[in-house]
Amino acid sequence: MRNHVAPRPYLSRREMLLRSSTGFGMLALRALMAGEAYAATNASQAAGPLAPKAPDFDPKVKNVIFCYLSGGLSQVDSFDPKPRLAKEAGHPMPFKTERTMFNEDGNIFPSPWEFKNYGESGIPISSLFPHIGSIADELTVIRSMTAKFMEHAQGNFYFHCGMPFTGFPSVGSWVTYGLGSENQNLPGFVVLGGGGIPLGGVNIFGNGFLPAIHQGSLIYPGQEEPLHNVRPRESDSLQRKRISFADDIDHEFLARVGGHPQIEAAIKNYEIAYRMQTAVPELVDLRGETEATKKLYGLDSPDSGTAAYGRQCLIARRLVERGVRFVELTMVSSDADQLNNPWDQHTKLKEGHAANALTVDQPVAALVKDLKARGLLEQTLVVFSGEFGRTPFVQGTDGRDHNPFGFSLWLAGGGLKKGHIHGATDEYGYNAIEDKQTVHDLHATILHLLGLDHQNLTYHFGGRDFRLTDVHGHVIQDILA
């Protein structure tokens, strides 16, 4: 059973002095301060709190990029065409449907968009997503997703943490807890902020009861300070002087208490923090990218949303290039009222979904293409999903209410059947009826692709062992290559 590590026994004072004063830790810091390249510090990084850990079995992928479409993308307008909706437009649903969030249920509402078969696989995709259409042969579309909750915050928590409430670790937290990360100068679980936070708040990226190192770190690429407190407020020289002074005093302290692993680790964290101050700005600095790359991602797009989301996607690629384990992209929206759940079209489906699709379509397709071109796609899993789908019947006159009973998402990357469609909803796109999958199944599958057994990844808290998948979840074998 993978479980948290027992506290390290204390070092003897002699060992401590050897390891911390003259050992790699100090050498590294001093080398750094002397301005040497930090390649020399690799050896010291190995023991960091996020040091890579071996998976349970051979992984298919190393990293995850999770494009989260908060608000809920409509399946019948994107990846699950339902011709019957057009035939029966305006008629009542022929079977009993569940209670909805707003209780303004109307009649069958056909998709305003045309579907087209793309690629050799012929996966049908609506005209909302022409660019994603161009990568159809890379996709594994699941049309039979189900969630358990009707409401955004609960849905968001559930989709991230497997539980509908605060206090449980996010999937990214579980992944870094299980595997660590391959870059010690950046957080292992990065959330790229687009401006809004999905409803429920930042705890949907929270570490829950796992150690704080596993919480999602919000990086805002466009902001002056992309990561909280990462920007030094003084000259490098002043800061080095301070760190160096503190380091000297700290070592006297460490010696006085006879060595203490926690204090030693806290000292070491200054090294990492110091390097993060360089690594994070370097990460978000896109000047080194070619014009062609920028264009591919839509950074030159006249649509500011496309450009902003394009920047997120490009940075996501840079993050996985740097070995960051789990990257989540939040949505971008120009509609200030919809910042937190842009896809939530209770009214004006046509306008809202079109604007959101324009924002994500080109950048996400570019991300998959670019990852592939760089040989990274096979070691990365890209997930594209919202917390639930939407009703095939209308809400009010031109919207769709929430529908967790059947919706679509797609995956791309290593270990998956490509150009593949899995599962089905009924003829109206309302209930998943074939190969019904739960969010727990998705989580189990993500962990499986990363080489982790979801039943083994546990953490003991408050009297019991917790899992991301609670007591549920089955790996979706049918989509594995």
Q: Tell which positions 335-374 bind another protein, by CB under 8 A.
A: 339-340
What are the C-alpha distances in Å from 366 to residues 131, 191, 297?
Answer: 8, 19, 5
Cβ closer to another protein: 92 or 232?
A: 232
Asked if 269 is part of the footprint of another protein (rule: CB under 8 A), the reply reads yes
Cβ closer to another protein: 120 or 478?
A: 478
- In whole angstroms, the minimum distance from the beta carbon of 403 to another protein comes to 12
Residue 472 neighbours by CB under 8 Å, 6+ apart: 162, 438, 440, 441
Which of 245, 300, 304, 351 binds another protein (CB under 8 A)? It is 245
**Beta carbons of 300 and 307 less than 8 angstroms apart:** yes
Residues 1-20 that bind another protein (CB under 8 A): 6-7, 9-10, 12
Which of 63, 74, 183, 203 binds another protein (CB under 8 A)? It is 203
- In whole angstroms, the minimum distance from the beta carbon of 133 to another protein comes to 26
Number of residues counted as binding another protein (CB under 8 A): 95
Asked if 267 is part of the footprint of another protein (rule: CB under 8 A), the reply reads yes
Asked if 166 is part of the footprint of another protein (rule: CB under 8 A), the reply reads yes
Cβ closer to another protein: 112 or 201?
A: 201
User: In 257-348, which ranges are continuous DSSP H helix?
Assistant: 261-284, 291-297, 304-321
SS3 401: coil
Radius of gyration of the chain from its Cα atoms, rounded to whole angstroms: 24
Piece of the chain touching another protein by CB under 8 A; list 108-116, 289-297, 306-314, 423-431: 423-431
Asked if 287 is part of the footprint of another protein (rule: CB under 8 A), the reply reads no
Asked if 249 is part of the footprint of another protein (rule: CB under 8 A), the reply reads yes
What is the Cα–Cα distance from 14 to 195, expressed in whole angstroms?
50
C-alpha atoms less than 13 angstroms from C-alpha of 471 in its C-beta half-sphere: 1
Please, what is the end-to-end C-alpha distance for the chain in angstroms? 27
Q: Give, to the nearest 10 degrees, the angle between helix 349-373 and helix 304-321.
A: 30
Q: Which residue has the tokens 């059973």?
A: 1
Which of 35, 302, 375, 462 binds another protein (CB under 8 A)? It is 462
Asked if 100 is part of the footprint of another protein (rule: CB under 8 A), the reply reads yes
SS3 403: strand
Structure tokens at 351: 């306008």
Asked if 276 is part of the footprint of another protein (rule: CB under 8 A), the reply reads yes
Residues 183-202 that bind another protein (CB under 8 A): 187, 193, 196-197, 199-202
Asked if 474 is part of the footprint of another protein (rule: CB under 8 A), the reply reads yes
